[in-house]
Amino acid sequence: MNLKTFLLGTCSAIVIAGFAQAETLTIATVNNGDMVRMQTLTDDFTKANPDIQLEWVTLEENVLRERVTTDIATKGGQYDVLTIGTYEVPIWAKQGWLLPLDNLGADYDVDDLLPAIRSGLTADGKLYAAPFYGESSMVMYRKDLIEKAGLKMPDAPTWEFIGEAARKMTDRAAGINGICLRGKAGWGENMAFLTATSNAFGARWFDENWKPQFDQPEWKATLDMYVKLMNDAGPQGASSNGFNENLALFQQGKCGMWIDATVAASFVTNPKDSTVADKVGFALAPDTGLGKRGNWLWAWNLAIPAGTQKAEAAEKFVSWATSKHYLDIVAAKEGWANVPPGTRTSLYNNPEYQKAAPFAKMTLDSINAADPKNPSVKPVPYVGVQFVAIPEFQGLGTTVGQLFSAALAGQMTVDDALAQAQQVTTREMTRGGYIK
Amino acid sequence: MARAVSTRRTVFFTIVAWIIALVIFFPILYTIITSFKSETEAIQGFNLIPSGTVESYAAVQAQSNYFKFFLNSVIISVGSTLLALLISVPAAWSMAFSPTNKTKDILMWMLSTKMMPAAAVMVPIYLLFRDFGLLDSRFGLTVMLTMINLPIVVWMLYTYFREIPGEILEASRMDGASLWGEIWYVLTPMAVPGIASTMLLNIILAWNEAFWTIRLTTTNAAPLTAFIASFSSPQGLFWAKLSAASTLAIAPILIMGWFSQKQLVRGLTFGAVK
């Protein structure tokens, strides 16, 4: 072998090695149980796709949102797959920040996705994100306490019934609060609950001309009911309680009822963490007889940013992680009760899942009952049940949430909170060009 | 009588000092206590006696590669400190021993950059990092942290150098020392306590910097601040795991601070009493 042949051979080997090198996908995600579980189950994907490696960036929800927004807006190209919520998908798709998911594969069965969830992720007829897990909200209640109160929880309760039950179940001496609801300020905290609840009272954030509606009687009725109920039957310091705080209270047996995300059902019925696991019943989110229930609709989804150089590999991963096959993997390794819920019709038709998850039917009914395009009784110019899918909502929702949290804490009256909410929202919507 | 008053005063100030120290240290102590609680215990409210479980440490270890983040923290904080010293020793020397009538203004201007909110320059910095290919690189982050801490390092060294009598440097010049020889063989040995404490303080500042280290990294260069951030969860209890991650992240710098506290205090009080 002469020198020339040796050099040529070496160069070719280097080039081939370069081409054969695995492509690395950087996936931005949040620290939720289902997401963490997925990171331990990716062997199945990497075995089938040895040319693709996965790197995870796990961040706190708001930091993730901020980081991903900066990266997409500046075309930084740091991420190949994003975990984003239902709120972001329509806004980012409209901005051209996300790639449409056109090649999820022949056996992906996109029609199996729950229609309510799928519609929230679709813009101009194209799917821009694939749901990893979905949720609505519902009533979780203590069957023993409601029985003791001499009541029977209907499958579809009214707010009037919930109020009566909460007050009857409250036993402060025994440390039992009739009801635990979100009070911590934030667009995804108390405002997710209150916005969804306000729909049942016929309230809305804006009328058809984007005029804020906090000065209308429907919002007054919503907030009056909430503050009075929490004062009579809620836990102390409720204005600091979010999902996690209420979860801990319910698991310790300190709540008669809790109205929150359907995903909590698997936590409160898990005997490892919950002291009341075998005493929990479920019901639809309450209404007031106006035809709308206060149940929200949310999904954590996988999407591909427009700036990625690895779109093909990224779509392969998204397809795998949100497929029926992935649900089977989780079921085989962790049991059916632990599969990511709320995304596929076939899961809810599966007898094994129905058996393992007593909350399955109520979760499906809650998701199906949510209508993001017509969330309230009166028409609205926006999409979203517990949020308004406009970029300004994060800031607005948090500001209004702080006012409502202050009203709950007794730092201001309901009327003052609503008046200030109306003032702030009108100013911001005028500034944003929505109100001419 | 005077002795009794003095003893009473000493006891009083000792108690006050202990109370202040405890108040300052309490958040760290409570984080460590919480890391030995179960998730349910951790969210139950104020409680100083943990059950002693180490399940959070096990979960943190299973979920993340601590040593990768740790190594990045070491490289970035030590690297940025050395780079900052390399730039700031000559700068502080020049300002301390050859001041002009604009020296104070320059020092004030340097310090004023610390008053700018980081979020205000987020997008321009991000664009620069993108264009120079520095996103998620240890080198980029080392440069960034050097820039952030440079004003403080220059200020601290300037203060120490001002305490060194100029006559000694003049004498070395008379003996034929070059400019570099003067800095290296005369000034530096005399300012070792000051340089050492500046170095230690800068390592601590760089180790704890969270705004840029989280925002300019993804996987390769992410330090322990990003490691901590990954344990906060919107749905699911996480306080015990977050506390365990925080304890693991601050342990190295706490231990370093403990062993070097004499040096640190000596340096920080250098020239304070004349």
Q: For B241-273, how does the pLDDT look when each residue is reduced to its tens digit (9 = 90+)?
A: 999 999 999 999 999 888 888 777 776 666 554
Q: List all residues of chain B from 75 to 94 with a beta carbon under 8 Å from chain A.
A: none
Backbone angles phi, psi at A382, to 5 degrees: -125, 170
Closest CA to B238 of A359, A401, A282, A35: A35
Q: For B33-58, how does the pLDDT look when each residue is reduced to its tens digit (9 = 90+)?
A: 999 999 888 887 788 999 989 999 99
Closest CA to B236 of A37, A367, A57: A37
Kindly report the pTM of this predicted structure. 0.82
Which amino acid is it at A195? T
Q: Closest residue of A to B222, CA-based?
A: A57
Q: How far is B151 from chain A (nearest CA, A)?
A: 27
Closest CA to B194 of B93, B274, B79, B100: B93
Is B260 a domain residue?
no
**CB proximity B163 to A under 8 Å:** no
Is B119 a domain residue?
yes
**CB proximity B59 to A under 8 Å:** no
Q: Domain A11-128+298-356 is of which CATH architecture?
A: 3-Layer(aba) Sandwich (3.40)
Is B77 a domain residue?
yes
- Which range of residues forms the domain containing residue B130? 65-229
Top pLDDT among A237 and B234 is at A237
Looking at chain A, the domain(s) classified CATH 3.40.190.10 span 11-128+298-356, 136-296+378-431
Which CATH number does the domain housing residue B161 bear? 1.10.3720.10
Q: Closest residue of B to A33, CA-based?
A: B236
What pLDDT was estimated at residue B139? 97
CB within 8 Å: B222 and A30:
no
Is B242 a domain residue?
no
**CB proximity B120 to A under 8 Å:** no
Q: For B212-223, how does the pLDDT look when each residue is reduced to its tens digit (9 = 90+)?
A: 999 999 989 999
CATH code for A136-296+378-431?
Answer: 3.40.190.10
Q: How far is A408 from chain B (nearest CA, A)?
A: 20
A113, two tokens? 């996705």
Q: How far is A33 from chain B (nearest CA, A)?
A: 7
| Separation in Å, CA A413 to CA A191, A216, A311, A410, B161 | 17, 16, 52, 7, 60
Q: Closest residue of B to A272, CA-based?
A: B40
Residue B176: is its pLDDT beyond 50? yes
Is B240 a domain residue?
no
Is B253 a domain residue?
no
Q: For A208-267, how does the pLDDT look when each residue is reduced to its tens digit (9 = 90+)?
A: 999 999 999 999 999 999 999 999 999 999 999 999 889 999 999 999 999 999 989 888
CB within 8 Å: A32 and B235:
yes
DSSP state of A228: H
CB within 8 Å: B237 and A244:
yes
Do residues B219 and A55 touch, judged by C-beta distance below 8 A? yes
Confidence class of residue A19 from pLDDT cuts 50, 70 and 90? very low
Is B69 a domain residue?
yes
Is B19 a domain residue?
no
Report chain A residues whose CB lies below 8 A from the CB of B63. 36, 39
Q: Closest residue of B to A66, CA-based?
A: B215
CB within 8 Å: A79 and B218:
yes
Q: How many domains does chain B have?
A: 1
Confidence class of residue A358 from pLDDT cuts 50, 70 and 90? confident
pLDDT mean across residues, chain A: 91
SS (H, E, C) B160-226: HHHCCCHHHHHHHHHCCCCHHHHHHHHHHHHCHHHHHHHHHHHHHHHHHCCHHHHHCCCCCCCCHHH
The residues of A whose Cβ lies within 8 A of any Cβ of B are: 26, 28, 30-33, 36, 39, 55-61, 63, 66-67, 70-71, 73-79, 188, 243-245, 247-248, 251-252, 261, 263-264, 267, 273
Name residue A30's beta-bridge partners.
A59
Q: Closest residue of A to B38, CA-based?
A: A273
A259, two tokens? 């109205």
Report chain B residues whose CB lies below 8 A from the CB of A67. 214-215
Q: How far is B260 from chain A (nearest CA, A)?
A: 33
What pLDDT was estimated at residue B271? 54
CB pairs under 8 A between A and B: 90
Helix (H, G, I), strand (E, B) or coil at A156: coil
Report chain B residues whose CB lies below 8 A from the CB of A76. 126, 130, 135
Query: What is the average per-residue pLDDT within A184-198?
Result: 94
Q: How far is B136 from chain A (nearest CA, A)?
A: 8
